[in-house]
Amino acid sequence: MPPGRRPPRPLPRKCNDLGVKAARTSQCWAAAPGGTSQPRFYLARSSLARSAKVRRFWHGLLWIPLYLLLFGVTLWAVGALYFDLPIAGLRAPLAFIYFAAMLVAFIFVKGRWRAIGVVAFAFLVVLGWWLTIEPTGDRNWQPDVARTGWADIQGDEVTVHNVRNFEYRSETDYTPYWETRTVQLSKLTGADLAINYWGSPWIAHPIASFQFYDSLPLALSIETRKVIGQTYSALRGFYRQYELIYIPADERDVIRLRTNYRHEQVYLYHVRISPEHARKVFLEYLKQLNQLHDKPKFYNAVTDNCTTNIRAANIAAEHGTVAPWNWRVLLNGKMDELLYARGFIDRSFPFATLKEQSLINKRAQAASASPDFSQLIRGGLPNSP
C-alpha cells in the first residue's frame, strides 16, 4: 500500500447479498472518476433503485384502465340514480351522495383492492335495482307515438295496422291519420334507406323503406317513444327513459316531416339487395313490430337503437351470417360510408358525388302536396329502380 494512503473500509456484507459476486473483497470496489474508489455495493443499490422506479411506473400504468373503468361505471350509476329513480325529489341528493361515497372509498379505504371492491359492490347494487325497472307501454304518450303498429301475416298477404300518415301543417301542428295497409310479399321488390341528420355529421337516424311494384312504399322507423313534454336527449338514452317503438308509416309522413318541417338533411339510398333478402328483412321488422306491440321494451342509445336493430334484422334474415361489426354502427352518421365500402349502395360514383346526388330535400319540398311524393323524391337518384 502506498505510504500515507488509508486502507479501505471493510466491505459491507450486503455487497454479496445484492448479487455482486466476488471472490475477494477487493472485487466489490470500483474505480470512480478522479481516481477515487467506491464500493460496488453502492453502485448496485443505485441501479436497483432505478430499476424499481421503472417497475413501479409500468405497474402504475397497468392500473389506469381499471381506474377508468371504475370511474365510468360510477358516473353511469350516478346517472341511473339521477334519471331513473321513481321519486323525483330524491334523484339529485342520492346521486350526489353516491358519488361522494365512492370518492371517499377511493381516498380513505385502506388497500387498493378493498377500495375497488367497495366501488364495484356499490355499482352492482345500483345495477341490480336498475334492471328491475320495467317498461309499461301505458303512459301519457305524445300523439305521434300514441299507437303501436302490428302486422297480421297470412301466407303471402301482410296486413299492417296503425300505419301513420299524418297531415302536417308544421312539425307540431298536424291532423292524425292511422291507416291499415295490405301488401303482398311476392310483390316486394327491394328496399331503400333514408338517413337524416339534424346536427352532428356523426349522428343520424336511418329509416328503412320497402318497395312494392303495385302499391306505395311502406317505411319503418325505429324511434324512441316519448311521453308528452319529453324531448330526446342522447344522455338520457343510456338509461331507462324511453321505450322503443317501430313506426310503420307512409313516406309522406315520416320523410316529409323531416325534410319539409324539421328541415333536417335527408339522403335516400337504394340498397343493393335481392327481393328475397328484402322480404326476409321486412319479415324480421314485422316480427319485432308484433313483439313490441305485445310486450314493450326500453330503448338504449348503445345496445337497442335505430341502427343496432337494423343490423339485428339483417343478421336474423341471413341466419346469423353478417359482415363484421364496425364502429360506424354506433356513430351512424357514417353509416352510408360503411354501406358504400361494403357494396350495399351504388359504387359507380365516388362516395362524395353519390352523397351529394342523394340529398332529397329540394325534391321533397317541391313534391310536398303531391300524391306521387314517393316517386318524385326518387327522380334522378343514382341507381334508383
Query: Environment class of residue 210 by beta-carbon count within 10 Å: exposed (0-12), middle (13-18) or buried (19+)?
Result: buried
pLDDT over 90, % of the chain? 66
The confidence score (pLDDT) of residue 30 equals 47
* CA 54 vs CA 59, 93, 112, 379: distances in Å: 8, 43, 20, 66
List pLDDT tens digits, range 361-371.
Answer: 999 999 998 99
* 196-202: average pLDDT: 92
Name the grid cell of 296: 314493450
Q: State yes or no: pLDDT of 280 exceeds 70.
A: yes
Q: Is the pLDDT of residue 26 over 70?
A: no
Q: What is the pLDDT of residue 32?
A: 44
Pick the range with the lowest mean pLDDT from 29-38, 40-49, 188-197.
29-38
Residues 6+ apart with CB under 8 A from 328: 334, 335, 337, 338
Q: Pull the grid cell for residue 333.
A: 352518421
Task: Give the span between the Cα atoms of 347 and 358, in whole angstroms.
Answer: 13
Is the model's pLDDT at 259 over the cut of 70? yes
Q: Is the pLDDT of residue 41 over 70?
A: no
Unique residue bearing C-alpha cell 466476488: 22
Distance CA 323, CA 315 (A): 9
Q: In this predicted model, which residue has the larger pLDDT, 99 or 50?
A: 99
SS3 category, 370:
coil
Of 17-21, 27-31, 274-278, which one has max mean pLDDT? Answer: 274-278
pLDDT at res. 317: 79
Cβ atoms of 248 and 218 within 8 Å: the answer is yes
The stretch 91-115 carries a mean pLDDT of 90
Q: What is the pLDDT of residue 31?
A: 45
Cell readout for 277 is 333478402
What is the reported pLDDT for 352? 94
Confidence label for 44 from pLDDT (cuts 50, 70 and 90): low
**Is the per-residue pLDDT at 22 higher than 80?**
no
Look up residue 218 and give its three cell numbers: 311502406
pLDDT band at 279 (very low <50, low <70, confident <90, very high): very high
Higher pLDDT, 64 or 270: 270
**Hey, CA dihedral for 236, 315, 245, 276, is it positive or negative?**
positive
- In this predicted structure, the answer to whether residue 246 has a pLDDT above a threshold of 70 is yes
Contact 11, 25 (CB under 8 A): yes
pLDDT value, residue 24: 43
* Region 199-217 average pLDDT: 94
Q: What is the mean pLDDT of residues 34-50?
A: 55
Task: Kindly report the average pLDDT of the chain as a whole number.
Answer: 86
Position 77 pLDDT exceeds 80: yes
300 bridge partner residues: 304
Average pLDDT score over residue span 339-347: 92
Taking residues 254-260, what's their average pLDDT?
97
Specify the pLDDT at position 314.
Answer: 83
Alpha-carbon span 105 to 116, nearest angstrom: 8
Which of 44-58, 124-138, 197-211, 215-229 is predicted least confidently?
A: 44-58
The whole-angstrom separation of Cα 299 and Cα 223 is 8
Q: How confident is the model at residue 330 (pLDDT cuts 50, 70, 90)?
A: confident
Is the pLDDT at 168 greater than 70, yes or no? yes
340, 223 Cβ separation under 8 angstroms:
no
Report whether pLDDT(376) > 60.
yes
